[in-house]
Amino acid sequence: MQPLSAWPLSVRSRIDVLLSDIDDTMTRDGKLPAESYRAMWDLSDAGVAVIPVTGRPAGWCDLICRQWPVAGVIGENGAFVFTMDGKRLEKIYHPSAPDPSVNRDRLSEIAAEVYREIPGTRPAKDQFSRLFDVAIDFREEPPLLGYEVANAIKAIFERHGAQAKVSSIHVNAWYGSYDKRSMAHHFLAARFGIDVDAEPGNLRAVFCGDSPNDEPMFAAFRNSIGVANIAPFAGGLTHGPAYLTRGESADGFVEVARAILDAKPQKPA
């Protein structure tokens, strides 16, 4: 990983799409600070499309899509993207995502096994808003558990054939061969004409994240950036970010936004 200061001006000036994780990337201590929200508006006003890419649930994504200055939001680790068509919310489901009702009971049974085997684990408080996955809280609320616990939760779901990813706060698990990257690939091609697998298109977009569940996105984007709090995970990542911010969490996100905005031609006063 190189420092963000090594990100070439000639590359930054071409960016017209910023994809970013939310928790502990845009937020700080669980809150979206004013400077992150301002950065999103500044990017939008400059013609840079902002696309949050998150493990958060459909209910949250509905609100984010309607009320934040974003071009769309990819939720539940790639199960869908919500975007606005004027004042109408459009829901695009991943072609590999199963009917939400098919695996609900199965995932609930595995989650119950996790709660029995690993003391202190509990359902994420946003579980009621979810369509496709189950989220286990290990450090969003007390008791704050370690990442060794998160990996043990992940292993239980994988033992039952489910996909599972560790974020900075939850372990998310689901059935279906989708992830953040494949949903981003589909949405960028359909909405922006960006082919993530082709260099000219890939150079138009950047991804910013903070945790192991962002690894598919780090691998997909030549312009990939980790906020500084990704450092504890770096040794365990096969595909880490290309660049690293100085600041953690929201401070790092604002650094990325500023790096993009500073590379754009200044509009006349």
CB 168 within 8 A of CB 179: no
Between 234 and 176, whose confidence is greater? Answer: 176
Q: What are phi and psi of 258, to 5 degrees?
A: -65, -40
pLDDT of residue 203: 85
Asked whether residue 268 carries a pLDDT value surpassing 60, the answer given is no
CA dihedral 69, 218, 237, 80 (to 10 degrees): 60
pLDDT in tens, 201-249: 678 999 999 988 899 899 999 999 999 999 888 778 889 999 999 999 9
Q: Where are the domains of the chain?
A: 2-96+178-263, 104-174
> Class of the 2-96+178-263 domain?
alpha beta
Examine the pLDDT at 73 and tell me if it is beyond 90. yes
Instruction: Please report the pLDDT score of residue 217 as a whole number.
Output: 93
User: What is residue 57's predicted lDDT score, i.e. its pLDDT?
Assistant: 96
Residue 269 pLDDT > 60, yes or no? no
Rounded mean pLDDT, 11-19: 95
pLDDT tens for each residue of 140-153: 999 999 999 999 99
27-41, 173-187, 192-206: the lowest-pLDDT one: 192-206
**pLDDT tens column, 93-143:** 999 999 989 999 999 999 999 999 999 999 999 999 999 999 999 999 999
| 162 exposure class (CB count in 10 Å sphere: 0-12, 13-18, 19+) | buried
pLDDT of residue 261: 97
Q: Which two tokens stand for residue 52?
A: 């949050």
Question: What's 104-174's CATH class?
Answer: alpha beta
Report the pLDDT averaged over residues 172-200: 91
Check the CA dihedral 141-254-49-68 and report its sign.
positive
**What pLDDT does 235 receive?**
78
